Structure 1
Amino acid sequence: MTWQTRSFSRRVWESTASLRGDIDALPLLTELADGTLAPHRFVEYLAQDDFYLRGYARALAMLATRAPTTAAAAFWASGASGAVAAEVEMHVALLNDSRLAELPRAEAPSPTTRAYVSMLQTAAAYEPYAVGVAAVLPCYWVYADVGRRLAHTASLVDDHPYRAWLAAYDDPVFQAATRGAITLLDDAADATDDATRDAMAEVFTAATWYEQQFWARSYELERWPVI
């Protein structure tokens, strides 16, 4: 899919092309696409994503309090209270699915989940507003971009076990929210200086890397070491 971008968003999107290629090749995503992902790995992914989204909602709420306009504040607040909450509800419903409910699930965030959430919340709370926007955007953009392709592939598979989850990321409302977040990134970049734009690019890359690591480590059932 071609995304409507301006100068800065195009710069950071193109700079992460290699990382996004690595994401596309991850076993979790290729197996999700064709419906062969083992149920216990899907449950692990959902459990970690649930932990992540609760922390992500807090990062968006922090960003809303620092936004320079009421429109931007409303956008981030809506993301925190509405879109993320709805996705958490969907995760709960899926985890209570009779096919998945009896499978063991993680009871705590993995090291990667905790590190990713910590980075996002730190950027949203303490870095310049523009840097916070760049930190939270990959969760929108990478998911929307990957999700469209996964949903299309899943639609070609009869009785795909994960079609409902994949369809959420191809939902027009989520796609529109992603476009809105990209616009806010470009607005923030236009309003700041070169040094801050460089910091924005750096944290965008870091968050994209964490997206890749999050999927990879969820597939591996990552746990804290026992000491």
Structure 2
Amino acid sequence: MSSFGERAWAATAGLRAAIDDLPFLAELGSGTLAPAAFRYYLEQDSLYLADYARALALLGARAPDSAAASFWATSAATTATVERQLHADLLGAELPPADRPAGEPVHSPTCLAYVSYLVATAATAPYAVGAAAVLPCYWVYAEVGARLARTAALVPGHPYRRWVAAYDTPEFQAAARGARALVDAAARATPGTEAAMQRAFVVATRYELEFWRSAHERETWPDPLL
């Protein structure tokens, strides 16, 4: 019998095919992505990661056992420190100057919608549903990271190699497998939540698609936030 993760992965085949076809990822893999687009992405992803860490911490507080609590709490700390530091390093030292709005970055419409959904789901939905909602970020990035790493390895002097490599490390791939295992365990323990879990997984996967798409377009609000 297939696992919840396998069923949810199959249910998002169309969305994942659309992710694979995104110009942003094609250009990121080939090293031809405009520096301004990459900078925009890093700024938005740094904002995203701060809130994603909150969602993971909420799951840690609501986890059904100490092993799950430890995994989510450790993941929250790693997201809040290691991954965000990588983004800060890239923004501060490794990118050429690019035109960008003055002042501190603000959440784009897509970024704000995505993190609001994740935090609300982790806080108010059953634990299993919240865990399913945060899983696509792990799983999709692990798959995309592995694919882009193979492409980037063929490009001498690839400008984004450090970012690409971060999501194809043994540590990140192991974390993605760990998250999958916990979500599968939650699905087995609460079979009545599977439909809601799958909806959450699909919604979050769609947000992954839209997040990268919005980065390529450098999405802005119609009117500046006050």
> Take 2:137 and 2:152, find their aligned partners in 1: how far apart are those partners?
21
Q: Indicate which of 215, 218, 221 corresponds to 1:218.
A: 215
Structure 1 residues 86-129: Cα deviation after superposition (integer angstroms, max 9, x where no partner): 01000000001254355426610001000000000011000000
> Take 1:83 and 1:28, find their aligned partners in 2: how far apart are those partners?
23
Task: Please name the residue that 1:198 is paired with.
Answer: 195
Cα distance change of structure 1 residues 72 and 98 upon mapping to structure 2, 3 Å threshold: closer
TM-score, structure 1 normalization: 0.94
TM-score, structure 2 normalization: 0.95
- Displacement after TM superposition at 1:6 (Å): 4.9
Task: Please name the residue that 1:146 is paired with.
Answer: 144
Q: Bigger shift: 78-87 or 125-134?
A: 78-87
- Superposition CA RMSD, Å: 1.5
- Displacement after TM superposition at 1:174 (Å): 0.3
Task: Please name the residue that 1:58 is paired with.
Answer: 54
- Displacement after TM superposition at 1:184 (Å): 0.3
Query: Does the aligned pair in 1 maintain the 2:167–2:173 contact within 8 Å?
Result: yes
1:104 has 2:100 as partner: yes
Query: Does the aligned pair in 1 maintain the 2:44–2:107 contact within 8 Å?
Result: yes
Structure 1 residues 121-156: Cα deviation after superposition (integer angstroms, max 9, x where no partner): 011000000000000000000000011000110011
1:87 has 2:74 as partner: no
> What 5-or-longer segments of structure 1 have no aligned partner?
none
Task: Please name the residue that 1:116 is paired with.
Answer: 114
Give 3-state SS (helix, strand or coil) of 1:97's partner.
helix
Q: Bigger shift: 75-84 or 158-167?
A: 75-84
> Take 1:56 and 1:154, find their aligned partners in 2: how far apart are those partners?
27
Runs ≥4 in structure 1, deviation > 6 angstroms? none
Query: Does the aligned pair in 2 maintain the 1:43–1:100 contact within 8 Å?
Result: no
Task: Please name the residue that 1:27 is paired with.
Answer: 23
> What 5-or-longer segments of structure 2 have no aligned partner?
none
Give 3-state SS (helix, strand or coil) of 1:180's partner.
helix
